[in-house]
């Protein structure tokens, strides 16, 4: 099953545009997008294949941390992670059509 996973890490200093562009380049290999320009947090939205929500978050977290290291970002603790399966997202879209 495919999952959309959002992950965010919080550090101690404000990150530059160039640093987040480096993260975006590293995340792009995994069909992801990066966030965090001008804040002390950096994050990503990734799409991964996994059997469960927990597996999806674990897989995306590994990709995220590797990409952050590749981008040269300072190590920071993950402060947010969430995952939504395509099945849930499609069901919500269908419900929206009835509202």
CATH number of 40's domain: 3.30.70
Report the candidate in 12, 32, 10 with the shortest Cα–Cα distance to residue 80: 10
pLDDT confidence bin for 90, thresholds 50/70/90: low
**15-33 pLDDT, tens per residue?**
999 999 999 999 998 889 9
Q: Which domain holds residue 73?
A: 2-98
Quote the pLDDT of residue 7: 98
pLDDT at 9 over 60: yes
| Stretch 57-64: mean pLDDT | 96
Quote the pLDDT of residue 29: 81
Question: Total structural domains in the chain?
Answer: 1
Alpha-helix runs per DSSP H in the chain: 17-28, 53-70, 86-98
pLDDT confidence bin for 80, thresholds 50/70/90: very high
pLDDT confidence bin for 82, thresholds 50/70/90: very high
* Residue 24 CA to its chain's centroid (Å): 10
């Amino acid at each position: 099953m495919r999952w959309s996973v959002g992950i965010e890490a919080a550090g101690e200093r404000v990150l530059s545009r160039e640093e987040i562009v480096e993260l975006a380049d590293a995340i792009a290999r995994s069909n992801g997008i990066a966030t965090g320009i001008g804040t002390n947090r950096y994050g990503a939205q990734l799409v991964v294949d996994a059997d469960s929500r927990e597996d999806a978050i674990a897989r995306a977290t590994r990709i995220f941390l590797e990409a952050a290291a590749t981008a040269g970002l300072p190590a920071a603790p993950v402060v947010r992670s969430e995952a939504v399966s395509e099945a849930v997202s499609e069901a919500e879209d269908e419900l929206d059509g009835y509202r």
